[in-house]
Amino acid sequence: MKLSDIEFRAMDSWWRKWGQAHFEIPLFQRMGLDIRDKDVLEIGCGNGHGAYLLNQGSPRSYVGLDVMEEQLEKARQRYPHYQFLVQDATDLSQFRKASRDVVIIFGVLHHIPEWRKVIDEIRGVLRPGGGFFVEEPRGMDLRLFEFFFRWGHPDSDFGVWRMEQYLRSRGFKICNKQWTPLMTMYRAERL
Ligand SMILES: C[S@@+](CC[C@H](N)C(=O)[O-])C[C@H]1O[C@@H](n2cnc3c(N)ncnc32)[C@H](O)[C@@H]1O
């Protein structure tokens, strides 16, 4: 689903970029993210700041996808040398099965009512042993954001506990989980 205007602007703010660079990526790295010489897919890459940060880690390949043209326009203007695709994450059929070592998500599944389908698709494109790194807000935080900022998230039954259960039921092992003030961060492995 497209972002509301207020969230679109917030995602391009200095504090969002600062948090991703100095907090989220380093925490994922401490949890085991190492993308050197790996094939990486970022889902919901937004304006491309994550692409810029991830590409500092020298992946073999990087593709960022997002459903929102306006986000990718910014990404392409800022980082013309990275690969971005307009694509709904509920359909990853354009990627070969078992072709990615790492799939990474910074706060996207709570925007997608069919989030289970996205997890199914991620399972399909990950190689056995591949890593799925995902951070998502908890239900209480989503409600707080909605109350104070009216970000207009879609109606969805998404929740991190449900996501955990679903990941396990679809053949992922949860290897690491970190609680942070606004998000819960996971490293899962495709078995
Ligand atoms: C909260 S923003 C996060 C953006 C970026 N990952 C970041 O951390 O700054 C959520 C992103 O998910 C994208 N998105 C929402 N629904 C999507 C879908 N079905 N498929 C792909 N991307 C989607 C939105 O366009 C938006 O860029």
Cα separation, 139 vs 142, whole angstroms:
5
For the stretch 23-44, pLDDT in tens is 999 999 999 999 999 999 999 9
Residue 4's contacts (CB-CB under 8 Å, 6 or more residues apart) are 150, 151, 152
Nearest CA to ligand 1 atom 12: 44
CA atoms within 13 A on the CB side of 28: 29
Architecture label for domain 5-11+36-190: 3-Layer(aba) Sandwich (3.40)
Calculate how far, in angstroms, residue 66's C-alpha sits from the geometric centre of ligand 1: 6
Task: Give the residue from 80, 85, 33, 27 showing the smallest Cα distance to 52.
Answer: 80
Nearest CA to ligand 1 atom 27: 46
Mean pLDDT value across residues 91-117 = 97
Cα separation, 78 vs 45, whole angstroms:
13
Query: Which of the two residues, 154 and 116, has the higher pLDDT score?
Result: 116
Nearest CA to ligand 1 atom 14: 44
Q: Is 67 in the pocket of ligand 1 (CB under 6 A)?
A: yes
Q: Is 107 in the pocket of ligand 1 (CB under 6 A)?
A: yes
Residue 48 is which amino acid?
Answer: G
Q: Is 137 in the pocket of ligand 1 (CB under 6 A)?
A: no
- Please check the confidence at residue 1 and state whether its pLDDT lies above 80: no
Lowest-confidence pick of 90-99, 110-119, 135-144, 178-187: 135-144
Mutate to test the pocket of ligand 1, among 108, 156, 158 (most ligand atoms within 8 A of CB): 108
For the stretch 48-93, pLDDT in tens is 999 999 999 999 999 999 999 999 999 999 999 999 999 999 999 9
Nearest CA to ligand 1 atom 5: 46
Atom of ligand 1 nearest to the CA of 20: 8
